[in-house]
Amino acid sequence: MDDLSYLLALHSAPRIGSTTLNQLCALPCSLSSLFETPEILTTFELKKSQLETIREALRTPDWKTVEQTLKWAEAEENHILLLSHKDYPELLKQIHSPPPLLFVKGHLSVLGDIQLAMVGSRNPGVDGSETAWQFAHHLAQHGMVITSGMALGIDTQSHKGALAAGGRSIAVAGTGLNRIYPARNKELAWQLIEQGAIISEYPLETGPLKANFPQRNRIISGLSVGTLVVEAALKSGSLITAREALEQGREVFAIPGSIHNPLSRGCHQLIKAGAKLVETADDIVEELASLMLASHMPDQPELFNTTKEAPIPEPDPLLPKVQQQILKNIGYSPVAVDQVIERSGLNAADVNANLVLLEINDYIQSHPGNMVSLKAR
């Protein structure tokens, strides 16, 4: 039995995370010797609680799961990378507590390419969704790999924009790779495998545990030369990734938005704190051309409150269906009426007539140039 099998046995044990695994791998003895002579653990400086957890894992290894995992890795598109593997991403090695094991489904070569992380709200406005898609599409055309978390909203639009450009994209899963989460992204997952990769540090059958998603954010930023926040409320999980990027010495970019849009406030706080304001995808291309990884943004942990973000409210269900459809296609940033017509799929007469009613009732406001936006309520 090789070291990978012993490492997988420890990895699948309850309450053993990446920090403990990395400590065990760094011990001046082989993993096999730990299983054969667990008493030697007492000769190393380990916390008492940690010691008991490791002893339990050594007493009751799940060899069946190990066998199933090794069988999974026999498929052409499936891979298991140790820190010492030649294809393990160099940037990821540099972060605090890098994953000692990476499970990869897709193309290994994409892991070593220049990556930009894109993150944002799971409940974006129509403007944020379009911006994420367009930025990812443009950056992918410039050869950059777009890395995100395959969540609904900005993550999904970022992946789709890159893939639509014929580019490459990587999803860092918060589950094991035998689980697709969210389930509605199953088709996207297969596209990612074909044009990039899905990776995870978790055992294959791990479900969508709440605690795992913030933890995986360090990998999203750790793989990337920079992180772009597209839309984020003040209380947003996306800001965890921005904080991780700062701690890892990577660039942080933020897209500004309307002062009336609650999903712009996280980006505005980041910009105030020193994140680079970007208006076009070319701003990022130019900034990263020299691959300057160090960020000088001050550490301000108060900005990174991780409680649930507040999404843009759904249209009033008492409104006529046609008005609800129109509101779903207007954001807080001004948008041309012609674009609202195109987005909604409604005819121009219906849109124009109902826009007047929506403005009278304070749902929207008009702007010069035949443009409209949502009105803060």
- Per DSSP, the residues of 164-215 read HTT--EEEE-SS-TTS-SSGGGHHHHHHHHHHSEEEESS-TT----TTHHHH
* DSSP H or E stretch at residue 308: none
Residue 170 and residue 199 in contact, taking contact as beta carbons nearer than 8 Å? yes
DSSP string, 97-150: S--SEEEEEE-GGGGGS-EEEEE--SS--HHHHHHHHHHHHHHHHTTPEEEE--
How far apart CA 95 and CA 85 sit, in angstroms, is 16
Q: Enumerate the domain spans of the chain.
A: 3-72, 106-303, 321-374
Average pLDDT for residues 335-344, to the nearest whole number?
Answer: 90
pLDDT > 70 in the chain, percent:
93
pLDDT for 268 beyond 90: yes
How far apart CA 347 and CA 172 sit, in angstroms, is 41
Using CA atoms, how far residue 350 sits from 319, 322, 343, 345, 375, in Å, is: 14, 8, 13, 10, 20
How far apart CA 172 and CA 161 sit, in angstroms, is 17
Beta bridge partners of 103: 80, 200
Q: Which residue has the tokens 């390419």?
A: 113
pLDDT for 303 beyond 70: no
Helix (H, G, I), strand (E, B) or coil at 228: strand
Sorted by sequence, the CB contacts under 8 Å of residue 49 that are 6+ apart come out as: none
Residue 299: predicted pLDDT: 38
What would the pLDDT profile of 314-328 be if each residue is shown by its tens digit? 788 889 999 999 999
Residue 370 and residue 336 in contact, taking contact as beta carbons nearer than 8 Å? yes
What is the average pLDDT score of the chain? 88
Residue 286: predicted pLDDT: 83
How far apart CA 313 and CA 159 sit, in angstroms, is 25
pLDDT for 334 beyond 90: no
Residue 305: predicted pLDDT: 39
What would the pLDDT profile of 43-101 be if each residue is shown by its tens digit? 777 788 888 889 899 999 999 999 999 999 999 999 999 999 999 999 999 998 899 99
Q: Which residue has the tokens 């389930």?
A: 183
pLDDT for 311 beyond 60: no
Residue 227 and residue 253 in contact, taking contact as beta carbons nearer than 8 Å? yes
Q: Using 50, 70 and 90 to split pLDDT, how confident is the model at 301?
A: very low
* 360, burial (CB in 10 Å: exposed 0-12, middle 13-18, buried 19+): exposed
How far apart CA 207 and CA 174 sit, in angstroms, is 8
Q: Using 50, 70 and 90 to split pLDDT, how confident is the model at 291?
A: very low
Residue 118 and residue 132 in contact, taking contact as beta carbons nearer than 8 Å? yes
Considering only residues 243 and 301, tell me which one the structure prediction assigns the higher pLDDT.
243
CB atoms within 10 A of CB 45: 5
* Burial per residue of 172-187, b for 16 or more beta-carbon CB atoms within 10 angstroms, e otherwise: bbbbbbbbbbeeebee
pLDDT for 361 beyond 80: yes
CATH code for the part of the protein at 106-303? 3.40.50.450
CB atoms within 10 A of CB 303: 17
What would the pLDDT profile of 165-195 be if each residue is shown by its tens digit? 999 999 999 999 999 999 999 999 999 999 9
Architecture in CATH of 321-374? Orthogonal Bundle (1.10)
pLDDT for 41 beyond 50: yes
Q: Using 50, 70 and 90 to split pLDDT, how confident is the model at 306?
A: very low
Average pLDDT for residues 269-295, to the nearest whole number?
Answer: 78
pLDDT for 297 beyond 80: no
Strand 251-254 to 226-229 pairing: parallel
Q: Using 50, 70 and 90 to split pLDDT, how confident is the model at 294?
A: very low
Residue 295: predicted pLDDT: 31
Residue 153 and residue 120 in contact, taking contact as beta carbons nearer than 8 Å? yes
Q: How far is CA 295 from the centre of its chain?
A: 20
Q: Which amino acid belongs to residue 51?
A: L
What would the pLDDT profile of 101-123 be if each residue is shown by its tens digit? 999 999 999 999 999 999 999 99
